[in-house]
């Protein structure tokens, strides 16, 4: 069994905001609050980034129209003792998805990390 770091992208809707920086702050705060309420403090929440289609430079993943924003969030969770990448993905989606109901999630990267097992 191995340990994995699973990174997911979430789409968070924020209403009644006038600036993208405010929308990002609200999205990170609300996601963190919902995760903390369900004892998922071990999930890291950060603003997502996306690449510019023209130059490739990264910028904040937030789109604002009519005082409503769609904010991309990066969620990372360490999954221990998974049977493989697919198992780690299912565990991560179950853990995070249970706390963030009705929030679209997509796994973007899975990295195998060092195991704490002394038998290896």
Domain residues for the domain of 31 are 2-113
Q: Is residue 20 part of a domain?
A: yes
> What integer pLDDT is reported at residue 81 of this predicted model?
93
Decide: pTM greater than 0.85. yes
Q: Is residue 70 part of a domain?
A: yes
> What integer pLDDT is reported at residue 117 of this predicted model?
54
Is 15:86 a contact under the CB 8 Å cutoff?
no
Q: Is residue 120 part of a domain?
A: no
Q: Is residue 26 part of a domain?
A: yes
Q: Identify the CATH number of the domain in which residue 80 sits.
A: 3.30.70
Q: Is residue 51 part of a domain?
A: yes
Q: Is residue 119 part of a domain?
A: no
SS3 for the chain, per residue? CEEEEEEEEEEEEEECCCCHHHHHHHHHHHHHHHHHHCCCCCCEEEECEEECCCCCCEEECEEEECCEEEEEEEEEEEEEEECCHHHHHHHHHHHHHHHCCCCCEEEEEEEEECCCCCCC
CA separation for the pair 15, 10 (Å, rounded): 16
Length of the chain: 120
CA separation for the pair 39, 100 (Å, rounded): 12
CA separation for the pair 98, 95 (Å, rounded): 6
Q: How many domains does the chain have?
A: 1
Q: Is residue 23 part of a domain?
A: yes
* pLDDT tens digits, 51-106: 888 888 888 899 999 999 999 999 999 999 999 999 999 999 999 999 998 999 99
Q: Is residue 118 part of a domain?
A: no
pLDDT surpassing 70 at residue 114: yes
């Amino acid at each position: 069994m191995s340990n994995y770091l699973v990174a997911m992208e979430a789409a968070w809707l924020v209403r009644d905001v006038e600036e993208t920086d405010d929308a990002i702050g609200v999205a990170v705060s609300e996601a963190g609050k919902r995760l903390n309420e369900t004892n998922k403090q071990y999930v890291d929440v950060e603003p997502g980034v996306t690449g510019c289609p023209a130059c490739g430079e990264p910028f904040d993943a937030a789109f604002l129209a009519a005082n409503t924003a769609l904010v991309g969030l990066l969620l990372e969770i360490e999954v221990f003792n998974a049977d493989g990448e697919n198992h780690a993905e299912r565990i991560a989606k179950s853990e995070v998805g249970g706390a963030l109901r009705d929030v679209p999630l997509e796994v973007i990267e899975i990295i195998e990390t060092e195991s704490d097992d002394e038998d290896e």
